[in-house]
Structure 1
Amino acid sequence: MILDKSKCIEHINDEEQILPLRKVLDKLEQVIRNHTIEYTDFLDPYQRKLCYSFLNRIHDISYHEEGGYHDAERKSIILFPDYREMRDINNPISAVRVDGKFKFTDLNHRDYLGAIMALGVKREKIGDILIHQDFGQIVLHDEILDYIKYNLESIGKESVEIKEIELCDVIKGDVDYKEISSTVSSLRLDAVISSAYNMSRSSSSSYINKSRVKVNWQPIDQVSFEVNEGDMISIKGFGRMVLHRVKGTTRKGRRKLLIRILK
């Protein structure tokens, strides 16, 4: 079978995703040609959704998503010939626990990621970073496990100790957020962002038009895009928020929202 990689992604308009998807297709081509087992970099849900558009059309190839724990956001796709069984394939994912004097330090996801990337590790080699009150956990590829164990010595100004743990010991992290209630005229993306961050509609529209906003990890450049309960919205420079609940309508017809701004 000859894999026409250009045809596989000709329908994808998001130019930022072309290179990551081509890397997946390169792995897929190796499996088809050499009957090997390959795995991708860690991909977010939007990137994996784009991959399904060609993975589900190719015969004789199976795949399995692995993120280290059940509710993982970032996952690697393991690609293998369909005559192989996943239970007989080595899992390429590992995890480490990070310990330090965290009771006296308010470290967040950005601190962890910054410390890791300062070591020269690429973002796509790291899965979820799980923050707990007294410790942290990092899901990563086996290929960088030892490097992280022996080189990650501090996060922020805090000295840390790293030790490998079993994937069954990975625990979903604590989610720290600020909860706000607001009302909006509609569930348009620009209106929801304006309400959450107390900014003008022209400002929120500008962020959207400049491709600085994603909904459920997908870039959105339409100010009139309608969001739904449960949607994750990220704005470059602001972080993430979740439209946690649409609580109904006021007497004046405005929508009542409960929004969680993630810290």
Structure 2
Amino acid sequence: MIGDKKKYLEHIQDEDQIITLRKILDNIEKVIRNHSIVSSDFLDPYQRELSYSILNRFNDISYHEEGGYDNAERKVIVMYPDYLKYSDLESTISAIEVQAKYKHANLGHKDFLGALMGLGVKREKIGDINVSDESTQIIISSELSDYIIFNLDTVGKESVDSKEISLQKIDNVEEEYNKIITTVSSLRLDTIISAAFNISRSDSSNIIKSDKAKVNFKPIDNISYLVNEGDLISVRKKGRVKLKDILGESKKGRLRIQIYKYI
């Protein structure tokens, strides 16, 4: 038994993540008590980072990320006794391929996510959804794969066919983006958001103060937060950008940067 679980959460400052991390502690307790193999829900990179700050305090627990493919954004954490080998464990996730019966159906990520949630599937049971012109690949908790295959017959207003595919057939996709090269006065978050989305500094400051911005999936409400090269910035209802490169200084002393703005 773990004992007082509160002590493992004392360092967590983001109250919105407490429930998620309590579930991680419950999973750890199951592994210790029952010598069982337990999988978390799908978590974003920020949530996984917080989870590891707890998992690393238990020496008799091993864990491994599983998202279906190398670049997966949402992954589960498989927890198991340290005397087991991960390579001997069965996967806890599955992949479903969905094809619209009408080849030119214009369906996007939101359409597929909405269709799944319309079937009663919770968001935390859904991994990445990779949409392409030919088909869409959805990573899902294994216990739900049959249910989805038998019940997912419509996405948006389009009829679809669904089938399970092996994890080895998942496309290791990269998000499409536009490259933006611009100059900024500093690497403050409000400055980068202003440049990336072509809005005023005042508007970008209001976005941050309204808890609508995240850096590497972590909520940030400080307009002076300094962005680092490689950081992923998401703004609610506007999209996501990455500060790809810092290219040096312009003749006027401003910073030249390259931004990837995801489509």
TM-score normalised by L of structure 2: 0.95
Residues 1:173 and 2:173 are matched in the alignment? yes
Contact 1:102 1:133 in 2 (8 A): no
- Alpha-carbon deviation of 1:224? 0.8
CA contact (8 A) 2:41 2:124 kept: yes
Does structure 2 conserve the Cα–Cα contact (< 8 Å) formed by 1:216 and 1:231?
A: yes
**What is the match of residue 205 of structure 1?**
205
Matched, 1:122 2:122: yes
Counterpart code for 2:76: S
Aligned residue in 2 for 1:22: 22
Once superposed, which parts of structure 1, at least 4 consecutive aligned residues long, lie more than 3 Å away?
A: none
Does the CA contact (< 8 Å) of 1:102 and 1:134 recur in 2? Answer: no
CA separation of 1:251/1:197 partners in 2, compared to 1, >3 Å: closer, same or farther?
A: same
CA contact (8 A) 2:181 2:257 kept: yes
Tell me the percent identity: 53
Offset at residue 174 of structure 1 (A):
4.8
Distance in 1 (CA, whole Å) between partners of 2:130 and 2:71 is 11
Residues 161-183 of structure 1: CA deviation (Å, up to 9, x unaligned):
11100000011235232333322
RMSD of equivalent CA atoms: 1.5
CA contact (8 A) 1:64 1:86 kept: yes
C-alpha distance in 2 between matches for 1:157 and 1:101: 11
In structure 1, the partner of 2:149 is 149
Letter matched to residue 131 of structure 1: V
Q: Deviations over 1:178-208 (max 9, x none)?
A: 3333221111100010111111111111111
Q: Which residue of 2 aligns with 1:12?
A: 12
What is the DSSP-based 3-state SS (H/G/I as helix, E as strand, rest coil) of the residue aligned with 1:203?
helix
- What SS does the corresponding residue of 1:190 show, helix, strand or coil? helix
Partner-residue secondary structure (3-state), 1:160: strand
Can you give the 5+ residue segments of structure 1 that lack an aligned partner in the other structure? none
Tell me the amino acid that sits aligned with residue 78 of structure 2: I
Q: Is the 8 A contact 1:132 1:174 kept in 2?
A: no
Cα distance per residue 1:98-146 (max 9 Å; x no partner): 1125752332222221221121111100111112221110011111101
Matches within 5 A, 1:37-76: 37-76=37-76
From the superposition, tell whether residues 158 and 260 of structure 1 become closer, same or farther in structure 2 (CA, over 3 Å): farther
1:108 equivalenced with 2:82 (yes/no): no
Instruction: Give the match's secondary structure for 1:41.
Output: coil
TM-score, length basis structure 1: 0.95
Displacement after TM superposition at 1:47 (Å): 0.6
Q: Determine the structure 2 residue equivalent to 1:36.
A: 36
Using the TM superposition, give the Cα deviation of residue 252 of structure 1 relative to its aligned residue in structure 2, in angstroms.
0.7
Q: Larger deviation: 185-194 or 244-253?
A: 244-253
d(CA) in 2 for partners of 1:30, 1:71: 29
Q: Distance in 1 between matches of 2:158 and 2:171?
A: 22
Supply the AA of the counterpart residue of 2:91: N
User: Post-superposition shift, 1:149?
Assistant: 0.6
AA aligned to 1:98 is V
The letter for the 1-side match of 2:6 is S
Amino acid of the residue matched to residue 131 of structure 2? I
Q: Deviations over 1:31-81 (max 9, x none)?
A: 111111111001111111001111111121111111111221111111111
**Paired residues of 1:36 and 1:81 also in contact (CA < 8 A):** yes
Which letter does structure 1 place at the counterpart of 2:208?
I
Tell me the equivalent position of 1:195: 195
- The answer to whether the 8 A contact 2:71-2:173 is kept is no
Q: Find the aligned partners of 2:244 and 2:199 in 1 and give their Cα distance.
A: 20
